[in-house]
Amino acid sequence: MDINLPLILLWLVVISGGIWLVDSLFFARQRKKKVGDQQADPIVVEYAKSFFPILAIVFVLRSFIVEPFQIPSGSMIPTLEVGDFILVNKYAYGVRLPVSRTKVMDVGEPKRGDVMVFFPPHNNDTYYIKRVIGLPGDRIELKNNVLYVNGELARQELIRAIPPSNPQTEVMWEDLDGYRHEMQKSVHPRQYSNFSGVVPEGHYFMMGDNRDNSLDSREWGFVPEKDIVGKAFAIWMHWDKLLSLPSFKRVGSIQ
- The residues, ordered by sequence, that sit 6+ positions from 16 with a Cβ below 8 Å of its Cβ are 47, 48, 51, 52, 55
Active-site hit among 16, 63, 90, 130: 130
Bridge partners, residue 194, by sequence = none
Q: CB count, 10 Å around CB of 211?
A: 24
> Helix, strand, coil shares of the chain as percentages rounded to 5?
25, 35, 40
Verify whether residue 130 is a known catalytic residue: yes
Bridge partners, residue 179, by sequence = 176
Q: Identify the helix (H) or strand (E) that includes residue 185.
A: strand 179-186
Give the helix ranges, DSSP H, for the chain.
Answer: 5-22, 28-35, 43-60, 217-220
Nearest of 81, 84, 78 to residue 181 by alpha carbon: 78
Verify whether residue 75 is a known catalytic residue: yes
Active-site hit among 16, 75, 214, 217: 75
Residues constituting the chain: 255
Give catalytic residues, as residue numbers: 75, 130
